[in-house]
Each structure stands twice: as C-alpha cells, then as structure tokens.
Amino acid sequence: MIRSKNIDWYRHLSFAAVGGFFAAYAVLLRMGVMANAQTLNLLELLISILRCNWLTALMHVGALALYVLGTMSTVVLPHLFGWDMRRVCPLIDALCAVVLVFLPVDMPVMLSLYPIFFAMSVQWSSFTGAQDHISSTIFSTNNTKQTSLALANYLCDHDRAHLRKLKVFALTLLCFHIGAAAAYFAVTWWYIRGALAVLPLIAWAFFLSVCERRHEALAEEPETIPDSSAHPTSNA
C-alpha cells in the first residue's frame, strides 16, 4: 500500500516522465521541435509575421490558441462541472498519444504537434509541483535552475533543507529524461506508433491520482463516535 503522503510525490515523478516522453517524441519525429512550451512557437510566430508568411503564422497562432485553451480548461472545467483535473489530465494525455499515431509524418510540423501543445498545457496547469515546491513536469529549465541553486546554497550554509529541495528538482529532472529515453527507444523500434509506449506510464499516473483522491475522501469523513445508549448496561 502506498502511503498517502507519498502519492503526490510519486505521481509528480510519473508525470515528469510522461512530459519527457512527449518532449522527446516531438523532437525525434517533428524536425527537432519541442511542443511542451511556447517560447519557440511565439518566436516563430513573430518571425512569420515579419516575413509576411501568413499561412505559417496562422499555424503558430493555432498552436498558441490550443496551449491557452488547455491552460484555461484546468480552471473552467472544475468550475462548471466539478471535474477533478487530476483524473481528467491523464485521460487527455492518453488521448494525445493515440491521436499522434494517426498523424502522418509528412504533414506540416506545427499541425502535427497540436495534440502535444494542448495535452502538455493541461498537464502543466493540473500538476504544478510536489513536496511543497513548484516544479514543472513538462520541461527542464527551471528544474535545472532550482537544482543548481539548492546545491550552491547547501555548499554555502550546509542547511539540510537545501538537500531536500535538491532531491525534489534533481529527481524530477531524472524522471523527465528517463521518459525522454523511453521515447527514443519507442520511436526507434516502432516509429510513429511508438507514441503508444507512454500509455502504461500514463495509466500508472492515473492510478496514483485515483489513490490520492480516495485518501482525501477518507480523511474528510467525520469520525464516528460509538453511541453508548445503543448498548445499555444493566444496574442489576
């Protein structure tokens, strides 16, 4: 049985591996483009506009719109329907993996990355960190920064709190790149169909999300106090 206090941590590491898988899958099959973030997309959107390449610019706008829509959905869906995004997000990731299998490798790169843009924005906004630290599961820049800062601070003052922070961000980086390595082998062996290799990992993350919700539900249940009047004692 997984202890409730560890579920959030294990789930975070699982989603970091999922994020690494999708990042590497896009880079390997789609001309080195990483679809987990918007920095490159926004730069290419600007360049396309400056060059008056309106069709390309429109495809970049579509990628931006999907990213924004995915982020907003993590607020709107719970507000309107009461959905728990910790359960919805893995389903979206799984759907993304299935859709990728049916996208031909010779289609426009930006269009082929639309599912990843949407799914990763949902994941990023649904799971923002673990162990009281904000840590992304879909890219590595801030995790690398925080790992470096934690190490430097520990070397300076030997505060073990920095070691705990180092553990969070370093293990997140490790799991992200384990997922990326898994994508490399999946693409090498199965090419486009390699996207399906991430499904067992997503299923495990979904299981952890369900376990966490059940632990929370049990914690919210009021304690029942035995009613002594139900078993009267005799004075005889």
Distance between CA atoms of residues 67 and 45, nearest Å: 14
Vertex 97, ends 82 and 58: CA angle to 5°? Answer: 85
pLDDT score for 198: 98
User: Above 80 in pLDDT, residue 26?
Assistant: yes
Tell me the pLDDT tens digit for each residue of 188-233. 999 999 999 999 999 999 999 888 777 666 666 665 555 555 555 5
Distance between CA atoms of residues 201 and 129, nearest Å: 18
pLDDT score for 47: 97
Q: What value does the mean pLDDT take over residues 121-132?
A: 94
Q: What value does the mean pLDDT take over residues 22-39?
A: 93
User: Above 60 in pLDDT, residue 29?
Assistant: yes
pLDDT score for 219: 61
Q: What value does the mean pLDDT take over residues 155-167?
A: 95
- Determine contact, residues 12/135, Cβ cutoff 8 Å: yes
User: Above 90 in pLDDT, residue 117?
Assistant: yes
Per-residue confidence band for 49, with pLDDT thresholds at 50, 70 and 90: very high
The tally of CA atoms less than 13 A away on the side-chain side of residue 142 is: 11
The per-residue pLDDT of the chain, averaged, comes to 91
Q: What value does the mean pLDDT take over residues 144-161?
A: 96
Q: What value does the mean pLDDT take over residues 20-29?
A: 97
Give first-to-last CA distance, the chain, whole Å.
48
Return the H-helix or E-strand segment holding 129.
strand 129-130
More confidently predicted of 142 and 212:
142
In 113-159, where does DSSP find H-type helix?
A: 114-126, 141-157
Distance between CA atoms of residues 134 and 46, nearest Å: 30
Q: Which CATH architecture is the domain 4-128+139-210 placed in?
A: Up-down Bundle (1.20)
Provide the 10 A C-beta neighbour count for residue 220.
7
Q: SS3 for 169? A: helix
Q: SS3 for 130? A: strand
User: Above 70 in pLDDT, residue 124?
Assistant: yes
pLDDT score for 173: 98
Q: Which residues of 85-124 are buried (b: 16+ CB within 10 A; e: fewer)?
A: bbebbbebbbebbebbeebeeeeebbebbbbbbbbbbbbb
Lowest mean pLDDT among 135-139, 176-180, 222-226: 222-226
Q: What value does the mean pLDDT take over residues 99-108?
A: 94
pLDDT score for 234: 45
pLDDT score for 226: 55
Contacts of 35 (CB under 8 A, 6+ apart): 22, 23, 26, 41, 63, 113, 116, 117, 120
**What is the pTM assigned to this prediction?**
0.89
Distance between CA atoms of residues 114 and 112, nearest Å: 6
- Determine contact, residues 96/116, Cβ cutoff 8 Å: yes
Per-residue confidence band for 31, with pLDDT thresholds at 50, 70 and 90: confident
